[in-house]
Amino acid sequence: MLGLGVGSLWLSIIVLLPIAAVAAKSLDGGFGAFWDAVTTPAARSALGLTLVASAIVALVSAVTGTLIAWVLVRDEFPGKRLVNALIDLPFAIPTIVASIVLLTLYGSDSPLGLHLIATRPIIVIALLFVTLPFVVRSVQPVLMEADREAEQAAATLGASNLTIFRRIILPTIGPALLSGIGLAFARAIGEYGSVVLVDGNIPQKTQVTSQYIQGRLESNQDGVVDVGAAANSIVLLLIAVVVLLALRIAASRGSRHHAR
Amino acid sequence: MSDPVTTEPTGGDAAPTEITGDTSLIADAGSHAIVVTGLNKHYGDYHALRDVDITIPNGSLTALLGPSGSGKSTLLRAIAGLEVPDEGTVVIGGEDVTFIPPQRREIGFVFQHYAAFKHMNVRDNVGFGPSIRKQPKSEIRERVDELLEIVGLAGYQERYPSQLSGGQRQRMALARALAVQPKVLLLDEPFGALDAKVREDLRAWLRRLQAETGVTTVLVTHDQEEALDVADHIAVLNAGAIEQWGTPREVYETPANEFVMTFLGPTATLEGKLVRPHDLVLSLEQIEDAVPVTVVRVVHLGFEVRVELEDRDGNQLSAQTTRGEAARLDLDVGQAVFVRTGHPPFPVDAPA
C-alpha cells in the first residue's frame, strides 16, 4: 500500500500536476479562445507539418528499425557489439548536439554538397536520428525470444521466406513493433532540440509545432505562458496520448494468445 | 464450470486409444524410401556427421537412436533440408533432394518443443500448409476437421496453443505436419518434453497411426526403450556415425559392438564379458563354469528382483531375476552364491 501511495503521489507531482496547470492555462479564455489559438494559419500549418513529418518518421523507423533489430539478432558480423551500443547514441547525446551535427553535415559548407537547411526533408532527417532507438529496442528482445523452430516448421510446410516473415514473424513482433512506432511518433511530434538549428523556423513552411510554441513564448515580453502556447501544447499532448493508447490497445489485441 | 476455455471437448491430455477418422487422407503418402549416402557435416571443428549411409525402407518406422551429440538430430534435419550437409546426398522417393530447400521436399516435420504458431488457433495451425498451397478455404476446413479427428483433437479448432497441454500441442503439430500429405514424416524427439504417461500413450498411438497410414516415418530419440517399443528399424548413432542398423531385436540381442550393447540396456561385467543382467543365472551350487560371488543387496522391484553381487576381486555386478526365483533361492545379504550366463555373452574386447 505504501508503494502504491508513494507511486501515485510521485506521478501526480511530476506528471499530472504540470499537465493540469497547462490544461487550465489553455482554457483561460474559454474554449473559443483555445480554438482560435490552435487554428491560426501558422499553428495549423505547424501542426500539419509536425504530424506528417512524424508519421513519415514513424513508418520509416518501423522498416529500418525492424531491419536493424533483425541484423543485430540474427546475423553475426565483426563489430556487432559496437553497432549494438551505437543504437543508443541518439538517446545518449543531447539533442542540440544532434542539431549541430546535422548543421555541419547539411549546412552551407556541407561536406556532402547537400544543402538542406531550412527545408522540410531536414526535419524528417533530424527526427529519424533522434527516434532511431525506439523501434530497434522494442523489437530486438522479442526477436531474440522468437521461436526459430516455428519458422523452420513453416518452411517445412512450404512457406517461402517472405511468407514466413509475413505470417509467423510479423505477428510475433507486431505488438512490440506497434509500441516502438508509437513511441517514435510521440517523441517526434514533440521534438525541439534536434530541429531548432536546422529547420529555419519559417512560419507556415518549415516551422514545427514545438517551435511555434517557443515562438509564442518569445513574443511575450514577460515570458508568461499565454493561451496560444498552452493550447498548442495540449493539442500535442492529446495526440501523443491518443496515439500511444490506440497502439497499446491494438498491440494487446494482437498478443492475446501469445502467453504460453 | 462451463467456461469454453477450461472444458475438455474430448479426453484431456491422453492420446485417443483408437484411431478414428479417415486415415486414407494420409495413406497415399505411403511408399517413399529415404536413401542417405556419404553424409558429412561439420560445425567448425566439430564433426557432427561422419560418412553416414542409411536406407530407410518404404513405409517403415525407423528410430535414430543415440546419446545427445551423436548426430541423430543433425541427420534428421539434413533429411528435412533444415541443415545443409558438407558432403553426401539425400534421396527421398527416388528424387535427389540434396540441394532442394525444405519448402519443396514434401516432408512433415515435428519438433520436440512443438514449434506451434502461437498467434494462430488450432485450425489455422493445422491449415497452414494447405493455405500456403492455395487450396480452397472450404477444402482446408474439411481437411483440418478430419485431421483433428484423427489426432483426437476434434472440437479444439478455436483453441490457441497456449490453451493446450503439451501432449495436445504435439498432436496438433502432428496433424499440421500430416496436413500437407508429406512423402515422409520426420519426428525430432517428439515426446521428449512430455510426462512419462503421456509419452507412452502417445507413442503407442503413433505406432498405430503409422501402421494404418504406412507413411515412411523417421523418429529421433535418445530413449532406447522408446526406440525398441515404437520402431520397426533402429539405427544406433554415436559420435556422428551409425554404429548399427537393424530390427529392435537384432540391435538388442546381437549388438554390433560394446557401445550398442551398453546403450540399449543395462549391462553387467562377468569375467571380463558384457552381459545383460537378466541373462545372469544364480545358483546355490557350482554348475559348469559358474563364478562364485557374494550377495551385497537384494532389491525388490515389483515383479523383478535385482540382486547386487560382488566377485572375489571386489568387482560389483547386478543380476536381474524374478520374484519366484529369488524366493526359491532365499537369498540373504552376505550369502555366497554362483553366477553364470544363460545367454552367449558379448566379448568386451571385440572391435568397435
Residue B338: strand, helix, or coil: strand
For A162-168, what is the mean pLDDT?
Answer: 96
Is residue B5 a part of any domain in this protein? no
Phi and psi, residue A86, nearest 5°:
-65, -30
Is residue B139 a part of any domain in this protein? yes
- Domain final residue, candidates B231, B259, B287: B259
- From the CA of B179, how many Å to the nearest CA of chain A? 9
Cβ pair B65, B234 in contact under 8 A: yes
CATH code for the domain in which residue B243 is found: 3.40.50.300
Distance CA B265, CA B278 (A): 10
User: What pLDDT was estimated at residue B271?
Assistant: 84
B38, B118: one domain: yes
User: What pLDDT was estimated at residue B28?
Assistant: 47
B19 Ramachandran zone, left/alpha/beta (phi>0; psi -120 to 50): beta
Supply the range of the domain harboring residue B340. 268-347
B73, B177: one domain: yes
- From the CA of A169, how many Å to the nearest CA of chain B? 10
CATH code for the domain in which residue B321 is found: 2.40.50.140
Is residue B10 a part of any domain in this protein? no
- From the CA of B129, how many Å to the nearest CA of chain A? 5
Q: Taking CB atoms and an 8 Å cutoff, what residues of chain B touch A152? A: 82, 102, 109, 111, 115
For A180-194, what is the mean pLDDT?
Answer: 93
User: What pLDDT was estimated at residue B15?
Assistant: 60
A152:B115 CB<8 A: yes
Is residue B120 a part of any domain in this protein? yes
Of all residues in chain B, the one with the smallest CA distance to A256 is B119
User: What pLDDT was estimated at residue A248?
Assistant: 85
Percent share of chain A, pLDDT over 70: 96
Q: Of A150, A158, A171, which has the smallest distance from its Cβ to B115's Cβ?
A: A150
Distance CA B27, CA A109 (A): 75
Of all residues in chain B, the one with the smallest CA distance to A168 is B117
B111:A149 CB<8 A: yes
Is residue B114 a part of any domain in this protein? yes
Is residue B254 a part of any domain in this protein? yes
Supply the range of the domain harboring residue A89. 19-259
Cβ pair B90, B79 in contact under 8 A: yes
Cβ pair B275, B263 in contact under 8 A: no
Residue B101: strand, helix, or coil: coil
Residue A210: strand, helix, or coil: helix
Strand bridging mode B184-188 / B107-110 = parallel
Disruptive mutation site among B118, B131, B164, B172 for chain A (greatest number of A CBs within 10 Å): B118
In chain A, the largest separation of any two C-alpha atoms, in whole Å, equals 71
Asked whether the predicted pLDDT for residue A70 surpasses 90, the reply is yes
Cβ pair B50, B241 in contact under 8 A: yes
Distance CA B335, CA A184 (A): 81
In the block, cell 483433428 appears at B148
The count of domains in chain B is 2
- B188 strand-pairing partners: B220
B224, B88: one domain: yes
Cβ pair B180, B28 in contact under 8 A: no
Distance CA B85, CA A207 (A): 60
ipTM: 0.83
Asked whether the predicted pLDDT for residue A77 surpasses 80, the reply is yes
Residue B227: strand, helix, or coil: helix
Chain A contact for B117 (CB, 8 A cutoff): yes
- From the CA of B107, how many Å to the nearest CA of chain A? 6
Count other Cβ atoms within 10 Å, centred on residue B229.
15
Which amino acid is residue B94, in one-letter code? G
Is residue A127 a part of any domain in this protein? yes
Is residue A2 a part of any domain in this protein? no
- Domain final residue, candidates B223, B238, B259: B259
User: What pLDDT was estimated at residue B270?
Assistant: 87
User: What pLDDT was estimated at residue A49?
Assistant: 96
B107:A156 CB<8 A: yes
In the block, cell 509545432 appears at A209
Cβ pair B76, B220 in contact under 8 A: yes
Count other Cβ atoms within 10 Å, centred on residue B141.
15
Portion 162-181 of B in contact with A at CB < 8 A: 162-163, 173, 176-177, 179-180
Q: Of B119, B177, B179, which has the smallest distance from its Cβ to A171's Cβ?
A: B119
A172:B118 CB<8 A: yes
Q: Taking CB atoms and an 8 Å cutoff, what residues of chain A touch B108? A: 156
pTM reported for the whole predicted model: 0.83
Chain B contact for A81 (CB, 8 A cutoff): no
Is residue A9 a part of any domain in this protein? no
B129:A157 CB<8 A: yes
Asked whether the predicted pLDDT for residue A126 surpasses 60, the reply is yes
B167, B51: one domain: yes
Percent share of chain A, pLDDT over 90: 68
- Domain final residue, candidates B205, B238, B259: B259
Cβ pair B147, B159 in contact under 8 A: no
Q: Taking CB atoms and an 8 Å cutoff, what residues of chain A touch B179? A: 157
Disruptive mutation site among A76, A152, A156 for chain B (greatest number of B CBs within 10 Å): A156
B104:A158 CB<8 A: yes
Cβ pair B202, B171 in contact under 8 A: yes
Q: Taking CB atoms and an 8 Å cutoff, what residues of chain A touch B181? A: none
The count of domains in chain A is 1
Asked whether the predicted pLDDT for residue A41 surpasses 50, the reply is yes
pLDDT per position in chain B (352 positions), as tens? 334 443 344 445 556 666 666 666 554 444 579 999 999 999 999 999 999 999 999 999 999 999 999 999 999 999 999 999 999 999 999 999 999 999 999 999 999 999 999 999 999 999 999 999 999 999 999 999 999 998 999 999 999 999 999 999 999 999 999 999 999 999 999 998 888 888 888 888 899 889 888 899 999 999 999 999 999 999 999 999 999 999 999 999 999 999 999 999 999 988 888 889 998 989 888 887 889 999 999 999 888 999 999 988 888 999 999 888 888 888 888 899 999 887 666 655 444 3
B251, B283: one domain: no
A152:B103 CB<8 A: no
A150:B102 CB<8 A: no
User: What pLDDT was estimated at residue B9?
Assistant: 47
B41, B158: one domain: yes
User: What pLDDT was estimated at residue B285?
Assistant: 86
User: What pLDDT was estimated at residue B227?
Assistant: 95
Give residue-wise pLDDT tens across range A214-238. 988 888 767 677 888 999 999 999 9
- From the CA of B103, how many Å to the nearest CA of chain A? 4
Chain B contact for A172 (CB, 8 A cutoff): yes
CATH code for the domain in which residue A255 is found: 1.10.3720.10
B176:A159 CB<8 A: no
B56, B150: one domain: yes
